[in-house]
A and B are shown apart, each in its own frame.
Chain A
Amino acid sequence: MRKLWILLTYIVFALLLGAPLVRIITGAWADGWSGFASGITRPEALHALLITGLIVVIVTAINALFGVMLALYLVRAPWLGKQLKRIMNSIVDLPFAVSPVIGGLMIVLLLGPDTVFGSLLNRAGIDIVYALPGMVIATLFVTFPLIIREVMPVLQEIGSQQEEAAQMLGAYPWTIFWRVTWPSIQWSVVYGVVLTVARTLGEFGAVLVVSGNILFKTQTATTLVYQDVENFNLTAANAVALVLAACSVGLLLFMEWAKSRKA
């Protein structure tokens, strides 16, 4: 009985997770090394990867800063009422429930060229939708909960005694944060950042809606894969997809390593 269950689990994992992964690797190498290389070194692929990298850097930096601060406030701040904290805490999770396409639609509805905001900014010479800022905002929205959800439980667990002790001894808020709080939350911030990077790399729906998928302008790696598939350019799509998949698997392995290190 036991052997049967283990065998069954192996079969499920091999068919559902293993086979697709193997298929994408063989697919990228279908035309040999040159097929893979030309898929990656196409100018549009390089540009798309550059845009993706840019968004990853901006989004991770902004969400790390605001995520850690908001987590601190939601757990510690005495100036936020208990009821308000509870409401905010449940709102934090909402982006998880929102379909990426709807996330993108929200940005278009609020900041699109036909809206009040959008036309104001447009007159000032700033494009939001169908340009990089809109893509960044959409990705910020989608990845918003990740860091907060990693940091908050750790803050709750360590309690505030050490911080209070530091304050009694006369430390300034900055010193308390860097010397007392940061060392205990740093790994949870790292996990949150890794999750944010992975999600940002792979964000597709929201970015597709907001960016308009304009070649050499707002095309990201994932929307390039989509366009390649639509154009039946499968080997090239596989090459870009393989790079993305390798990044995600690498991040996943890093996460496993970091977690086993701690335990």
Chain B
Amino acid sequence: MPDIYGRFAYVTNMLQSRWWSWGFRSAVLLYFVILIVFPILGIYGQSLSDGWPNFVHNLDDPLAWKAVVLTIKLAVIATLINVLIGTMAGWVLIRYKFPGRQLLNSMVDLPFALPTAVIGLMIMLLLGPRSPVGQWADDAGFSILFHEPAIVVAMVFVTFPFVIRAVQPLLEEMDASEEEAAYTMGASKAKTFWRVILPAMLPGVLSGAMLAFSRALAEFGAVVLVAGNIPGRTLVASVYIFGQIESDNPSGAAAVSVLLLTLSFLILWLVGYVQARRTGR
């Protein structure tokens, strides 16, 4: 077999490889700056370009304000639900051997793989007025679809993998001897869990919860289909931004975007900080 790589290398060397590598370097760096850095700076620039008072004025719109508050409230609820079921599922999937464990473990990533619009449609069908859940809720005198509960369900679904995937590696690398020591010294199961196991899982639960919260704040596709999108009542921030773009008010959209982005960046930075401290880097 002729040495294709060798020959190719010879040719590139002929074409002065230094110029090539300079070309590659600048192309990659340019791509990075134009694709990632420019747009993010652009949105901050756009919303602050008309001055601070204008920015505040755009946020002062009661509907914008209500949308942001509603989003934060529902994202907190969804995150708390995920902390509970995520910690439990992460624990069960690592610690217990039972039939179907592998299948469940593979299913965890499903919400990341599915398109968000498809997730929205699924939840809409599942909770709709003609479905068993919808009818049951109707009889009980409250409604789910196009109201707050449906938004929470969508957020929980979309952010489901975060806590589990953050807790699992910590449980795997946990030293069994600490737990055994606690038992030998006469600690009860509950006490061992609260004093030994939970502190070891806590960094994972926290960083998973923060990532889930940040994703829940940002979610659009799944929410837009199941929320009623009634301004001031079931309109979340991302849908509000979309509405402002559609009605040709980019500065209003940019102002709320900057608020959400800053919040998400802070959370991302916090997660990085927590993880860096844990690994001691």
Contacts and interface: CB of A to CB of B under 8 A. Distances in A.
Answer yes or no: do A and B interact.
yes
A120 interface: no
A204 B157 contact: no
Interface string B189-211: 00000000000000000000000
Given A2-B96, A16-B156, A99-B219, A204 B115 contact: yes
A100 B112 CA distance: 14
Nearest to A79: B25
Contacts of A100: 116, 218, 220-221, 238
> Does more than half of chain B's interface fall in helix, strand or loop, or is it mixed?
helix
A229 B24 CA distance: 45
A202 B121 contact: no
A99 B118 contact: no
Contacts of A97: 214, 218, 261, 264-265, 267-268
Given A222-B117, A241-B121, A98 B264 contact: yes
B232 interface: no
Contacts of B269: 90
Interface of B: 5-6, 8-10, 12-13, 17, 21, 24-25, 28, 31-32, 35-40, 42-43, 46, 85, 88-89, 91-93, 96, 98, 100, 104, 106-107, 109-126, 131, 156-157, 160, 214, 217-221, 224-225, 238-239, 241-242, 245, 250, 253-254, 257, 260-261, 264-265, 267-269, 272
16 contacts: A9-B89, A18-B107, A70-B28, A90-B269, A94-B268, A99-B220, A109-B39, A137-B35, A140-B35, A141-B36, A144-B36, A174-B12, A178-B5, A222-B118, A245-B118, A249-B110
A24 to B, nearest CB: 5
Contacts of A112: 250
B250 to A, nearest CB: 6
A208 interface: yes
B21 A24 contact: no
B106 A256 contact: yes
Nearest to B260: A99
B116 A202 contact: yes
Contact of A94 (B40, B85, B131, B220): B40
A108 B24 contact: no
Interface residues of A, number: 84
A96 interface: yes
Given A98-B40, A106-B39, A229-B124, A202 B114 contact: yes
A26 to B, nearest CB: 9
Contact of A105 (B32, B93, B122, B250): B250
Nearest to B265: A97
Contact of A144 (B35, B131, B265): B35
Interface string A147-176: 000000000000000000000000111110
